[in-house]
Structure 1
Amino acid sequence: MKKNFADRFINGIEWLAAIFVGIVALNIFVNVLLRKFFSTSIPDSYDFGRMLLGILIFWGIAATSYRGGHITVDLVWSAVGTSRRRMIDVFATLVLLFVVTVQTAMLFDKVRLTYIDHVLTYDLNIPTWPFYAVAWIGDVCAVILIAIRTWRLVFRPEALHDEHFEQKGGE
């Protein structure tokens, strides 16, 4: 099956989120080894860990927001017919799109203020705004993916990659 640009973009976002998970795990692992065996630590490891965790959260939102595989409450959804399920899905996705768009605007303001205030890490005096910017880019990607999901829900539901799409569409 040939993948279009949107599918390649979605896969790229998921790979980036996975890479950030690996970076966070590597930071923790190396820091624990250094503390245990060498009684030292990575300079600014706390700052890096904190900011990398923020990046991971926003890229994780981007990765999970398209697939629809995150935790949901389907009590009402499972009690109604197929057409109403689709309406609920579209409504819920539009609400998610609105919330994440507002969150993205607020996070951009945080990036801007961090840049203007010239906030630095404690040990190495590295500017922190690039970390916030990478997290913001993850949030922008989440908005894009939710918009793609909304469009596909409305116009091409068969193109969705939901884990249980066959069950949703076949009932």
Structure 2
Amino acid sequence: MTGLRFGESTGSGIRRLVGLAGLVLRLAASLLLLTMMIVTFVDVLGRELFSAPLPGAYELTEVLLALVIFVGLPITTARREHVSVDLLTARLPTTVRRGLAVFAAIVTAAVLIVLAWRLAVSAGDFTAYGDATVYLGIPLGPVAGAMAVFTAVAAVIAVAVVFRRD
């Protein structure tokens, strides 16, 4: 076995839970992306055929895009698919590369923890001030709160990646 793979539902206990969580996140990201596609399609169709774009399409697309990105963050972190450049490390000895990989995982976890904290603070501020999008009035507090939760999940996964052996 190569350790836990986010999105695999075989096995028992924690492995099933991780698999189910991966499935739920992938499904949520897919539905958000589908919704973005439908909104964009209707907006373009309305603009081109009827000279009447979908009201608030731009705002809705912005919110949906932010959610797609942050729903995908735990998936990307678990699969270790963050963008990386290995121009110099490819020629280093295996032990040094492993050490650098652990260091990168630690830095990733630290950055995600700070980002989750700051997003949570922003979510509280947005909620306290009643901030919302201009046209549709979508409250920004819950959106930032969801982003903070998904980032915190990614941070927990990043910490687990530091200790994972595969």
- Corresponding position of 2:43: 31
- With normalisation by structure 1, the TM-score equals 0.77
The 8 Å contact of residues 25 and 72 in structure 2, kept in 1 or not, is answered as no
Amino acid corresponding to residue 107 of structure 1 in structure 2: L
- Corresponding position of 2:97: 85
Q: Which runs of 5+ in 2 are unaligned?
A: 1-9
Is residue 68 from structure 1 mapped to residue 80 from structure 2 by the alignment?
yes
Is residue 118 from structure 1 mapped to residue 127 from structure 2 by the alignment?
no
- Of residues 145, 148, 153, the one that matches 2:160 is 148
Name the CA shift for 1:15/1:85 in 2 (closer, same or farther; >3 Å).
Answer: farther
List structure 1 runs of 4+ shifted beyond 4 angstroms.
none
Is residue 135 from structure 1 mapped to residue 144 from structure 2 by the alignment?
no
The 8 Å contact of residues 59 and 135 in structure 2, kept in 1 or not, is answered as no
Instruction: Give the Cα–Cα distance (whole angstroms) in 2 for the partners of residues 19 and 144 of structure 1.
Output: 24
Amino acid corresponding to residue 11 of structure 2 in structure 1: K
The 8 Å contact of residues 13 and 141 in structure 1, kept in 2 or not, is answered as no
> Once the 2 structures are TM-superposed, how far is the Cα of residue 143 of structure 1 from its aligned partner?
1.2
Is residue 2 from structure 1 mapped to residue 11 from structure 2 by the alignment?
yes
Q: Which runs of 5+ in 1 are unaligned?
A: 158-171
- Corresponding position of 2:59: 47
Report the more deviating stretch, 77-86 or 103-112.
77-86
| Relative contact order, higher structure (CA 8 A, sep 6+) | 1
Q: CA RMSD in A?
A: 2.1
> Once the 2 structures are TM-superposed, how far is the Cα of residue 84 of structure 1 from its aligned partner?
2.1
Deviations 1:28-73 (A, max 9, x none): 1221112222322333222211122221222233221221233311
- With normalisation by structure 2, the TM-score equals 0.79
Question: Structure 1 vs Structure 2: percent identity of aligned residues?
Answer: 25
The 8 Å contact of residues 71 and 150 in structure 2, kept in 1 or not, is answered as yes
Deviations 1:103-134 (A, max 9, x none): 11111111111111112333343423222222
Report the more deviating stretch, 69-78 or 85-94.
69-78
Name the CA shift for 1:99/1:26 in 2 (closer, same or farther; >3 Å).
Answer: same
Instruction: Give the Cα–Cα distance (whole angstroms) in 2 for the partners of residues 69 and 125 of structure 1.
Output: 35
In proportion to residue count, which structure has more helix?
1
- Corresponding position of 1:100: 112
Deviations 1:130-153 (A, max 9, x none): 22222222212211221222221x
Deviations 1:76-122 (A, max 9, x none): 33112222222111110100100111011111111111111112333
